[in-house]
Amino acid sequence: MQLDGISIKERGHDYIAEALNFPDYYGKNLDALYDCLCEISCEIELINASAVDKDIIDTFKDAASVNELLKFTSSP
């Protein structure tokens, strides 16, 4: 799964939720993002990562560190 940092910057949590098929109850904040990422099995590559706030990237990294079924990489 490839996510685009520019799309995240433009559409935020709506883009992430749609791209990763999060449930309707997704809270659209960093805590909810972390929770949902900890429950999925996926390889995520974030392109255009320089367009994204560091907090979002850190949330992906933190979730990947505890969820062995989640792989996360990013590129500028």
Residue-by-residue pLDDT tens, the chain, 76 positions: 999 999 999 999 999 999 999 999 999 999 999 999 999 999 999 999 999 999 999 999 999 999 999 999 999 9
Read off the CATH number of the domain in which 16 is found: 3.30.370.10
What's the pLDDT score for residue 32? 98
Domain carrying residue 9: 2-74
Q: What is the spatial distance between Cα 51 and Cα 68, in angstroms, rounded to a whole number?
A: 26
Q: Look at the chain and report how many structural domains it folds into.
A: 1
- pLDDT of 67 reads 98
CB 57 within 8 A of CB 74: yes
Alpha carbon separation from 48 to 53, 62, 67, 74 (Å, rounded): 11, 19, 24, 8
